[in-house]
Structures are given as C-alpha cells and as structure tokens.
Amino acid sequence: MVLSLSSQNVIQYLRDAGLCSSEDGASDKSELPKNSKKNFNLLVTLADNRNLLVKQESITNNDETPHEFFNEWLFGQLLGQFPVLGNISAIAPSVLHFDQENSILVRNYLSEYLELGQYYQKNDIFLPEIASAIGTTLAGLHRATFNRREYKDFMSTAPEGQFRYGFYNPAQGINSIGPDIFGVVPTDALKFYVLYQRYESLESAIADLAYNWQPCCLTHNDLTLNNILVHSRWEQLDNCLVRLIDWEACSWGDPAFDLGTLLASYLQIWLSSLVVDPTIELEESLHLAMTPLEVLQPSIVALIRSYLNAFPMILEYQHDFILRVIQFAGLALIHQIQDMITSRKYFNNSDICMLQVAKNLLTMPEQSVLTIFGISESTILKPVANLHKLPQPEKEQQLLRIYYEKTRLRGC
C-alpha cells in the first residue's frame, strides 16, 4: 500500500482521481465512527453538496494488501455490464472509484438515509413495514441472479495477479485453537472456546451446514442491520425505502445465508438486552430481556414472508429453506461472539446465553422455528402458499419450545 489516507490528503486524492475539481474544494471532511475493525472511512462533503464516502482498508498485520474492496467494485461492474439488472442497481449506492493498489473505494454517500442498526437503537420501535421492504429487496437480488450462469462467471473474476478456484463457503465454524490463543483473547473469553469445543453436536451441525451449502445466486454475505440504510422519510415513500451497503463480501452464494445473517442481527437486539445474572436460569433471562423477542417477531415474520412472497421458487429448490435460515442465524451469532472477542476483547455472561441460543438454532432448527418466529413453519408459509400454490409439507412437525413459555420466578 502506497498511500495512507487521512482527512489532510483526501481532497488532493479525490482531485487526482478526477472525482472533484480544484474549484470544488470540500466544505466538510469527517471521520465516520469505527463500525468496522478493518476500514478507515471518511465522509467528504464537497462544495457542490455532493457527499462521498471514501473507504480505505487497513493494512493487515502481515503487511499484505487486502483485496476485499475488489468484490464491491466487481459487483458495481456487474451492474454496469448487465443493464437488465437495473432494478438491483437501485438498491446499492454507486461505486465511483476503486484503487486496488491503495485499497481505496469511493461511493456516493446517501445523506437522506439512516443506518438501520442505529435507527432501531434510537427509536426502539420495530415496524414490520421496514423488515418487509428488506425481505422484498433481498429477494429481488437473489431472484434476479438465481442460477444465472453469466452472472456466476462474472463474479468468479479474480483480482489482478490472483486466481479464484471456487467461491468461498462462509458456513465455517470456529478454527481450532492453539496455545497462541492465551495472548490474544481475554481470560474470560476462554470459556467461549471451551464450551464451543465441548458441544460435539454443534460442530457436526456446522459441518453439515457447510456440506449442504448451495451457492446458486448473488449474495451479500454480510447482511447485518449496520449494512442496511433506511430512508429518513420512509413512511412517505412508496419504494426505495431501503438500500444495502458494504458489498465487500458479496459473492456467489447460498440465499439462506443472507437471510440467516439478517435474522441473527435482529435476534442480537433481543439477546444483547438480556438481564443476566448467575442466579437466573437461561430461560428466565431470555424472558426478562429489555427488548423481548415478542417485540421483534412481527418484523422477523414480515421479513421472511415478504422474502418468500417475492421469491417463492426458492422453496422448490430448497425444501428446508426456513430451517437452514434458522441454522445460519445460529452460525452468525457464533461469529458475532467471536468477532467481539477478537476485535473488542470483550466477553461476558450474556455472550454465554447467546452461545446457548446459537447452539439450539443450529442443532434443533425444527423446534427453534416456533421459538424464533412465534408461529410454526406451516403458518409462516400459509399466506405465501395461498398466493403461489406451494407444495405442502408432508406432515406438521412436532414443535417443542426450546425454553419455557412462562417465566418461573425463583422461589415461587
């Protein structure tokens, strides 16, 4: 990497790249809060009021130039190459510039949009309309690219000087750990690795999920609420309520992975609001949450229903689609815990609860459907099935709750 971007040299950089003229100047340059552990992000407002997001990937420890922006750029190229994907280009802000040598990417910054994670945090209201718009948007991406050879071939392009032998399978467990872990993670967090390794059923569920990973369409692969923007006046708009950003991990992948990652991001709102105490059982903690699961369920159900409504064909291709979404959500929770440990050096009792829930989602997906959605698989599918004549499941699953419905108070 040649250039290290800063608020001092960013304007000169944009001028050299032809993205602003010397008269343009900048009225404002601000560093965006560090959401991500790996990128340095600058928001630049030019004199003509254009807002640009300038991202630079951090130099990795081994000093190799990272190549993750390449995928985001490649996605932009795909949209340019195949105008028939026009509807999809509306869901992502356009990439204006990509500099592979310095790992810099410039995008249009949509100032009238808000990051959904922050929006939920501030408002603490979860209207199903937003989740429904996300479901329809995501289904549009998956459906438009589903089983299309030309898009798959395009996405297999590798950065210059590299080869791409296959698409990365993101259904991976935690790597085996060695003695070096002691210097890297806080002592409290060792419990996470001990528990993870103790659950054999968990490791085998992840191995099955990886084995059954079915890449069949373009996937975002990092679909958390932080990577979704919602229009600040979404209630007055008919469309384009949401935009998807941060396409660094996008690839040819399994649609259940995207939906599972998003589901996990909703579940995290619930799981990070638990009241955790060594004297309280897990099921009690889950019920004493400041943001109860019941508050999120209308959004979660709207998300999956609107997705299936816009892309019912996926159910013919993957009969167990909903169960795999649940399992991928469990896997995403495990990765979130691990990210917290490695990037923020943070682990506490609520992460142990999260691990338990993740394990249940991965190892008992049938039972977890009722817990997570609050309704059975056939009830989720009913409105979709009525509209699209779906094949009916052969028999109703025996559904059990994975925790008790009523909170039992200690000593009562």
Ligand X SMILES: Nc1ncnc2c1ncn2[C@@H]1O[C@H](COP(=O)(O)OP(=O)(O)O)[C@@H](O)[C@H]1O
Q: Which residues of the shown chain bind ligand X in the complex (CB under 6 A)? A: 32, 35-36, 39, 41, 53, 55, 93, 107-110, 113, 115, 226-227, 229, 245-246, 248
Q: Which is nearer to ligand X, 39 or 371 (CB)?
A: 39
CB 36, min distance to Mg ion, A: 5
Measured CA to CA, the distance from residue 132 to residue 232 in angstroms comes to 16
CB 261 within 8 A of CB 333: no
246 is an interface residue for Mg ion by CB under 5 A: yes
CB 154, min distance to ligand X, A: 22
Count of residues in contact with Mg ion, rule CB under 5 A: 2
Give the 3-state secondary structure of residue 257: helix
Q: Which is nearer to ligand X, 109 or 234 (CB)?
A: 109
Q: Which is nearer to ligand X, 70 or 113 (CB)?
A: 113
CB 53, min distance to ligand X, A: 5
Q: Which is nearer to ligand X, 227 or 360 (CB)?
A: 227
CB 230, min distance to ligand X, A: 10
Measured CA to CA, the distance from residue 140 to residue 311 in angstroms comes to 7
Measured CA to CA, the distance from residue 81 to residue 72 in angstroms comes to 14
CB 178, min distance to ligand X, A: 29
Q: Which is nearer to ligand X, 229 or 322 (CB)?
A: 229
Residue at 330: amino acid letter: G
CB 265, min distance to ligand X, A: 12
Binding-site partner at residue 229 among Mg ion, ligand X, none, CB < 5 to 8 Å by type: ligand X
Four-residue CA torsion sign, 352, 358, 362, 368: positive
Binding-site partner at residue 53 among ligand X, Mg ion, none, CB < 5 to 8 Å by type: ligand X
CB 177, min distance to ligand X, A: 26
Measured CA to CA, the distance from residue 69 to residue 75 in angstroms comes to 10
Binding-site partner at residue 377 among ligand X, Mg ion, none, CB < 5 to 8 Å by type: none
Give the chain's length.
412
Q: Which is nearer to Mg ion, 34 or 408 (CB)?
A: 34
CB 106 within 8 A of CB 19: yes
CB 130 within 8 A of CB 35: no
CB 109, min distance to ligand X, A: 5
Q: Which is nearer to ligand X, 92 or 263 (CB)?
A: 92
Binding-site partner at residue 7 among ligand X, Mg ion, none, CB < 5 to 8 Å by type: none
Burial (0-12, 13-18, 19+ Cβ within 10 Å), 313: middle
Q: Which is nearer to Mg ion, 94 or 197 (CB)?
A: 94
Q: Which is nearer to ligand X, 111 or 204 (CB)?
A: 111
336 is an interface residue for Mg ion by CB under 5 A: no
Measured CA to CA, the distance from residue 212 to residue 208 in angstroms comes to 6
Cα atoms found within 13 Å of the Cα of residue 288, Cβ hemisphere only? 16
CB 40, min distance to ligand X, A: 8
Residues 6+ apart with CB under 8 A from 392: 378, 385
Footprint of Mg ion on 179-238 (CB under 5 A): 227
CB 112 within 8 A of CB 206: no
284 is an interface residue for Mg ion by CB under 5 A: no
Binding-site partner at residue 110 among ligand X, Mg ion, none, CB < 5 to 8 Å by type: ligand X
**Strand locations in 109-241 (E):** 113-115, 217-219, 228-231
**Phi/psi zone of residue 225: left (φ > 0), alpha (ψ -120 to 50 degrees), beta?**
alpha
Based on its alpha-carbon atoms, the radius of gyration of the chain, rounded to whole angstroms, reads 22
Binding-site partner at residue 93 among ligand X, Mg ion, none, CB < 5 to 8 Å by type: ligand X
Four-residue CA torsion sign, 403, 407, 410, 412: negative
285 is an interface residue for Mg ion by CB under 5 A: no
Q: How far is CA 65 from CA 272, 285, 324, in A?
A: 35, 44, 35
Site residues (vs Mg ion, CB under 5 A): 227, 246
